[in-house]
Amino acid sequence: MTERTPLLHYRLCTSVNESEPRSPPAGQAPERRPGSPRARPAGPQRQQKKLSTFFGVVIPTLLSMFSVVVFLRIGFVVGQSGLYQTIAMFLVAYFIISMTVLSVCAISTNGALDAGGAYYMISRALGPEFGGSIGLMFFLANVCGSALFVLGLVEAVMDTFGVPEDGTVAATSYQVLPSGYWWSLLYGTGILLLCLLVCLVGAHIYAKATFLIFLIVMVVLGTILISFFAVSPKTILLPSSSSSANGTGPGFPTTANFTGFKLDTLVGNLEADYVIDYTTKKMMTFATVFAVMFNGCTGIMAGSNMSGDLKNPSYSIPRGTITAVIFTFIIYNLLSVLAACTCDRVLLQRDYSFMRDINIWHPFVIVGVYSSTLSAAMSNLIGASRVLYALARDDLFGKVFSPAKKTSHSGNPWVSVLISWFCVQLVLFSGKLNTIASIVTIFFLLVYAAVDLACLALEWASAPNFRPTFRYFTWHTCVLGIIGCVVMMFLINAIYASASIAFMLLLLLLIHYLSPTSSWGYISQALIFHQVRKYLLMLDVRKDHVKFWRPQILLMVSNPRSSVGLITFINDIKKSGLYVLGHVQLGDLSGMRPNTLVLGFYDNCSPNDRLNYPMSSSQSTNPSSLSQELEEPPLFHFASLRGSGDKQDSGEFEDGKVLGPEEYVAVIADAMKMLKNVVLARYFNNFDRSQALLPSSSSPGKGGVFVDVWPVNLLRPDSSSYVDTCSLFLLQLACILNMVRAWRKATLRLFLCVEEGRSVKGSEEKLGQLLKDLRIKAQVYPVPWDQVVALHWQRQGGWSRKQQSTDPSTDESAARAEEDENQDDYVNSFPSNATRLSDDYLSAVNKLILDQTRQPPAVRFLYLPRPPADTRGYTAYLQQLDLLTQDLGPTLLIHGVTPVITTDL
């Protein structure tokens, strides 16, 4: 028999005779209430996330950004560009990646992250087309990056221990390793097998291995910093290759000086002096040096790639990535300044391994180069496997990546690791590091630009559910990040950049036409809706002119099948105008259909005319101007207010209302049956937003603007202990109001109803966790309501007997209503015993709400229950709502029927 997990609810109110939710029948999956946060599957099939911020994000990102640049290319950059331009390069490079980091932090804190890192962010934000194409390129970038660092490590090993390929005698006794293409491929294969073994064991062992490497790199960096101060000035023999780079003139230097800290040395290294690179025999420029330096600044996605292995990705990724970026920026600039102050320009230009020569113990730098390169290779290999695993789970490429879905018992995607290892092994056959260096950087930059584009699209779409907890970004930072990444791509290699963009567009088209429709949501639909709405609002009837007139036609037909000729003819004469075909049909409607009905409350408050038409005295006394005004159709033409003394229509009621109370409630019931959300607005007849947003001065020192939220069914205490669709809808509307610029400084106050003997702390923690998952900032206030609940239950006993003796049909109708409710949603339905609510109970609830507001809120949000199933209870239902909201000030009674909140990214 399979084990069943009961449905987990977040408790808002705890009641006396509270009952736990029933478990589903045997063999039936537990249901999930619409709109509730999706519970993540648990069990042995899912990997237990154990990595913290430091081990899972800081260390991988830091080591990937350091790689070998920190040891072998600092001198190159300073020697060619000078200290001024070097610092400028680092500022520009880190500005570009910082814009992308801000976008990564924003997306990662907007919902629950899963495996896949940047691919998961892009795919869930931009849809499967962009996500799949960028994801595949991100996988290839990590594959090529792993191969790049393996080849770099092989070259570093061969420089130290390899026999010279030209047949000359080895300079040292430890140069014993055979050299050549096949030998280098063999060494690279061995290094890659070591990375494979670590990654096959799992992310936890990878974290331990990288931590060990991190300690080694930090020790090496410490010795380098100490060496600048501790080592005495000395003369260093330049590499033999540097003497033949610019010819063999008699005055060509073969040695250079480490001078220690001297002002003359610093002055000589301030300005740029671009010369021929002694390793590539090419003339250096600002662009070429910047491209080499920028390779050391990439790697910011190393921590994001581990999103599926982190304890709390939304917490760890922003903090860990920003920490690593700041740390590497400080180290790079510090080393640049120290090198410029202590080393001759010739030493920096013609000996890229000068840090080894000036170190207090020469092998330290060699160990640092080996360790950082090995770590970067492992980081890219495990990153590639996680991206491939995420691509396979999403089935964007059909059966091609299906084997990559397999995981071990602990959840490690071992098949994805093997496939990634095989791809890296294929790239190793290229044999040359410089062959793939530019491709790797361009691929990573393209992914960074896509992350910025995803964040920009989410920001421009203005979707209510895009509310990241990380707010230090704007659409300007996203645009700057995109521009910076694209410019860097073409600066590094215009041909490779163009080819990579073309390849991405080809993948995008293939996925668009071949992949199935996903359930992630398409950002294109949100952007289209946003733009269509914006342009519709830009239409201004005051700017209409006869020369731009066009027909706007509404054609009503009884049956389109028999009216094809008429439909076609009217379509011909519309001339690009508005053409609406009217026909009653059941089915899916337009994507811009209204989903929420807002009604004014049915009470006896006198309406106020807030729409004034100012008229000058000349117009009021001039008959010609008055007649001209009457001839022109006014922009707004509304009937006079009820109760204003004007002659009322014979169809209206005595108080001037068009609808009676039963008809009013029937409108509410019909809207809910049509799956429309309903909002009733009360006490807004004198509402002034400018006055409502003024800080309250009733309590000295505690002024502020507040919005009160009561997401519980106050008419049914025994069923208000769970968060349902209506409660989540109410929270969403309150959060949307708080996101509007004018209401942004308002504080949401969420009231938690509790009874004596129940765990208030536990209820607060559960509610706080729910708000945290939904990214809603609100202050939670526990509200004791034992006496109020007691008034509710004291009334239940004798009421039914009294009613049965006077009106048996009422009891029967109540029984029928009870039966109807059991078939409907338990919490959302208007319960039958709500018809037995006493005025004392309703007045007590009303007083309870008022007593919590020593500082009156600008507006209140209350839970609106369903109307009763029996239409004879409509009047009582309306009276109960009237007592509940009496003298509460501007209040919204809200009932939601559709899910509007998700915790997914």
Q: Each residue of 648-664: pLDDT tens digit?
A: 455 566 566 778 889 99
Angle between the N-to-C axes of helices 128-161 and 414-428, in degrees from 0 to 180, rounded to the nearest 10: 60
For 443, counting Cβ atoms within 10 Å of its Cβ (0-12 exposed, 13-18 middle, 19+ buried), the class is: buried
Which residues lie below 8 Å from residue 855, measured CB to CB, with a gap of 6+? Answer: 696, 698, 699, 702, 703, 704, 706
Core vs surface per residue 710-719: b (16+ CB within 10 A) or e: bbbbbbbbbb
Identify the top-confidence range among 338-352, 465-479, 574-588, 634-648.
Answer: 338-352
Nearest-angstrom CA–CA distance, 453 and 138:
15
Nearest-angstrom CA–CA distance, 104 and 109:
9
Under 8 Å between Cβ of 275 and 346 = no
The CATH topology of domain 63-166+173-239+254-524 is Amino acid/polyamine transporter I (1.20.1740)
Mean pLDDT for the chain overall? 77
What does the block give as tokens for 796? 């239940």
pLDDT bin (cut points 50, 70, 90) of residue 338 is very high
pLDDT bin (cut points 50, 70, 90) of residue 861 is very high
Calculated CA dihedral for residues 313, 314, 318, 321, nearest 10 degrees: 10
Q: pLDDT of 302-326, one tens digit each?
A: 777 777 778 888 888 888 999 999 9
Nearest-angstrom CA–CA distance, 502 and 494:
12
* Average confidence (pLDDT) over 883-905: 85
Nearest-angstrom CA–CA distance, 827 and 431:
67
Q: What end-to-end distance do the CA atoms of the chain give, in Å? A: 34
For the chain, percent of residues with pLDDT exceeding 70: 76
Q: pLDDT of 512-521, one tens digit each?
A: 777 666 667 6
Whether residue 799 is predicted with pLDDT greater than 60 in this model: the reply is no
pLDDT bin (cut points 50, 70, 90) of residue 841 is confident
Under 8 Å between Cβ of 852 and 815 = no
Whether residue 451 is predicted with pLDDT greater than 70 in this model: the reply is yes
Q: Tell me which amino acid residue 233 is.
A: P
Q: Please, which residues bridge with residue 615 across strands?
A: none
pLDDT bin (cut points 50, 70, 90) of residue 607 is confident
Q: Please, which residues bridge with residue 162 across strands?
A: 177
Q: pLDDT of 85-123, one tens digit each?
A: 999 999 988 998 899 899 888 888 887 777 667 787 778
* Average confidence (pLDDT) over 50-74: 82
Which is it for strands 255-258 and 234-237: parallel, antiparallel or unpaired?
A: antiparallel
Whether residue 818 is predicted with pLDDT greater than 60 in this model: the reply is no
**Predicted pLDDT of residue 536:** 81
Whether residue 24 is predicted with pLDDT greater than 50 in this model: the reply is no
**Predicted pLDDT of residue 189:** 92
For the chain, percent of residues with pLDDT exceeding 90: 14
Q: pLDDT of 377-389, one tens digit each?
A: 888 888 888 888 8
Residue with tokens 């169809």: 651
Q: pLDDT of 216-256, one tens digit each?
A: 989 999 999 999 999 999 888 887 655 554 444 445 678 88
CA-to-CA dists, residue 555 to 440, 549, 571, 724, angstroms: 59, 19, 10, 42
**Predicted pLDDT of residue 41:** 41
Q: pLDDT of 161-176, one tens digit each?
A: 877 766 666 666 777 7
Q: How many CB atoms lie within 10 A of CB 212?
A: 13
Nearest-angstrom CA–CA distance, 66 and 299:
9
**Predicted pLDDT of residue 482:** 92
Whole-prediction pTM: 0.67
pLDDT bin (cut points 50, 70, 90) of residue 616 is very low
> What is the length of the chain?
905
> In the chain, what are the domain boundaries?
63-166+173-239+254-524, 661-796+834-895
Which residues lie below 8 Å from residue 98, measured CB to CB, with a gap of 6+? Answer: 325
**Predicted pLDDT of residue 413:** 85
Q: pLDDT of 178-212, one tens digit each?
A: 888 888 889 999 999 998 988 888 777 878 888 88
pLDDT bin (cut points 50, 70, 90) of residue 14 is very low
Which residues lie below 8 Å from residue 815, measured CB to CB, with a gap of 6+? Answer: 832
Nearest-angstrom CA–CA distance, 195 and 206:
9
Nearest-angstrom CA–CA distance, 514 and 64:
35
pLDDT bin (cut points 50, 70, 90) of residue 483 is very high
* Average confidence (pLDDT) over 809-817: 45
Nearest-angstrom CA–CA distance, 713 and 718:
9
pLDDT bin (cut points 50, 70, 90) of residue 285 is confident
Under 8 Å between Cβ of 827 and 719 = yes
Q: Tell me which amino acid residue 245 is.
A: A
Backbone φ and ψ for 582, nearest 5 degrees, come out as -100, 125
Nearest-angstrom CA–CA distance, 227 and 239:
21
Q: Could you tell me which of 865, 864, 853 has the C-alpha nearest to residue 889?
A: 853
Nearest-angstrom CA–CA distance, 114 and 122:
12
Of 213-227, 561-575, 691-705, the least confident: 691-705
* Average confidence (pLDDT) over 581-593: 69
